[in-house]
Amino acid sequence: MNKNLKRLINILNDGQYHSGSSLGNKLNITRTAVWKFINQLKDYGLSIDTIKTKGYCLQQPLILLNARNIAPPCPIKIFDSITSTNDYVKTVKKSPFICLAEQQTAGRGRLGRNWYSPFGLNIYLSCLWDFNKDISELSGLSLITGLATIKTLTAYTKDLKIKWPNDILYKDKKLAGILVEINAETHGSSQAIIGIGLNVNMPGAINRAPTWISLMDIVKKPQDRNKLTSKLINQLWNYLNKFEKHGLKSFLSEWEKYDYLKNKKIKLMHGEKSIGGEACGINDQGHLLVKHRNGNVVAYSSGDTSIMGDRKGRPYD
Ligand code: BTN
């Protein structure tokens, strides 16, 4: 990011009004240049109040992501803005590698959905990780990424569940989502792109969509994204290393503790088909077990789940 833009943000972070000329003096740039930077921040979606007689005021402090404060265990790249961190990581040659962005312009969710990714508020993280495993052994990867995310978040709140395969929920509302993409390589190895989107300081996430929530909504104050990202990466590292050595089996009891669907009547959209039944946990490949009316239990490897009888319909997108 442009150094002057960074300095401008630092000045505005005091929450006071600053006139264009005083900002220009402090940064040693013209008022027009200040105005352009202010417009850039507004284009990023930041809320800047402008009063002719007083100047500009940033409504919510903005602490940018900083690799030094995150101190990752591998190379990292932080973008101000990118289409999708998952897409960037796909172009990287050497694993492991972490990519973060302040904003995604084409953030992707599961099943072709968009992932809302406003500037400077949340965490958009992708990790490139090579496995000496066949693609068939990685079916639990997105589940353990969800567990690593929950483990990180339990320092902030205990009321968390995972909705299979990997939606992190706080009291039925979506706090984080995971998008894992895997490329099969030669000789039984695979390359995984592990994407995590976590709503951190998004104000009014509840208003934007009543079924979304951010960490700030839960703990009632903005959170330090650098600290949180650092914790998240560390947990992800622990979970990926354990998964590499011991597979999904070693996480099954942890999954059970956070399983949102367990013993609930659910609807599973599996391709074009809508399947009803009772969720009864996962098998050791991470497939969802559904008990049908005739008593048969069937394992499903993919799909979109919702709780039946929820009058509001699907809990969220
Ligand atoms: C979902 O719940 O549907 C999955 C959301 C995954 C979003 C993350 S944000 C970082 C990474 N980059 C993307 O484009 N998507 C994932």
311: confidence class by pLDDT, cuts 50, 70, 90: very low
pTM: 0.92
State in Å: Cα 108 to ligand 1 middle: 5
Is the pLDDT reported for residue 265 higher than 50? yes
The pLDDT of residue 136 is 87
What residues contact 116, with CB distance under 8 A and at least 6 apart?
107, 208
The pLDDT of residue 44 is 87
CB 114 within 8 A of CB 105: no
Higher-pLDDT residue of 216 and 308 is 216
The pLDDT of residue 107 is 97
Element (H, E) at 34: helix 31-43
Q: Is 53 exposed, middle or buried (0-12, 13-18, 19+ CB in 10 A)?
A: exposed
Model confidence pLDDT, tens digit, residues 108-156 = 999 889 999 999 999 999 999 999 988 888 999 999 999 999 999 999 9
How many Cα atoms are found within 13 Å in the side-chain-facing hemisphere of 96? 15
Q: Which residues contact ligand 1 via a Cβ below 6 A?
A: 84-86, 104, 107-110, 113, 115, 124-126, 167, 177-179, 195-197
In the chain, % of residues over pLDDT 90: 81
d(CA 184, CA 193) in angstroms, rounded, equals 12
Q: Please choose from 65, 86, 198 the residue to mutate so as to test ligand 1's pocket, defined by most ligand atoms within 8 A of CB.
A: 86
Is the pLDDT reported for residue 204 higher than 70? no
Ligand 1 atom index nearest CA of 109:
3
| Local structure of 183: helix, strand or coil | strand
- How many Cβ atoms are within 10 Å of 49's Cβ, its own excluded? 11
Q: Are strands 48-51 and 55-58 parallel, antiparallel or unpaired?
A: antiparallel
Ligand 1 atom index nearest CA of 196:
8
Model confidence pLDDT, tens digit, residues 76-94 = 999 999 999 999 999 999 9
Q: Which of 77-81, 185-189, 249-253 has the lowest mean pLDDT?
A: 185-189
Q: Please choose from 115, 117, 316 the residue to mutate so as to test ligand 1's pocket, defined by most ligand atoms within 8 A of CB.
A: 115
The pLDDT of residue 308 is 85
d(CA 261, CA 275) in angstroms, rounded, equals 14
Q: How high does pLDDT run on average in the chain?
A: 92
d(CA 68, CA 306) in angstroms, rounded, equals 41
Is the pLDDT reported for residue 271 higher than 70? yes
The pLDDT of residue 206 is 60
188: confidence class by pLDDT, cuts 50, 70, 90: confident
Structure token pair of residue 190? 């695979």
d(CA 300, CA 288) in angstroms, rounded, equals 5
Task: Tell how many helices (H) and how many strands (E) occur in the chain.
Answer: 10, 14
Ligand 1 atom 16: residue of nearest CA: 195
Is the pLDDT reported for residue 245 higher than 50? yes
Strands of the chain, DSSP E: 48-51, 55-58, 76-82, 97-104, 123-131, 160-163, 167-170, 173-184, 190-198, 265-270, 273-282, 288-291, 297-300, 304-307
Beta bridge partners of residue 291, listed in sequence order: 278, 297
Q: Is 281 exposed, middle or buried (0-12, 13-18, 19+ CB in 10 A)?
A: middle
Q: Please choose from 196, 200, 202, 316 the residue to mutate so as to test ligand 1's pocket, defined by most ligand atoms within 8 A of CB.
A: 196
d(CA 117, CA 158) in angstroms, rounded, equals 25
Is the pLDDT reported for residue 253 higher than 90? yes
The pLDDT of residue 312 is 47
Distances (CA, A) of 126 to 1, 37, 44, 105, 229: 20, 28, 21, 15, 11
Task: Report phi then psi at 127, rounded to 5.
Answer: -125, 130
208: confidence class by pLDDT, cuts 50, 70, 90: low
Distances (CA, A) of 289 to 77, 135, 241: 39, 21, 26
The pLDDT of residue 117 is 94
Closest C-alpha among 162, 114, 164, 161 to residue 139: 164
Closest C-alpha among 199, 207, 169 to residue 315: 169
For the segment 231-254, the average pLDDT, to the nearest whole number, is 97
The pLDDT of residue 105 is 95
Cis, bond preceding 210 (omega within 30 deg of 0): no
Model confidence pLDDT, tens digit, residues 43-58 = 888 889 999 999 999 9
Is the pLDDT reported for residue 205 higher than 80? no
Model confidence pLDDT, tens digit, residues 230-239 = 999 999 999 9
The pLDDT of residue 184 is 82
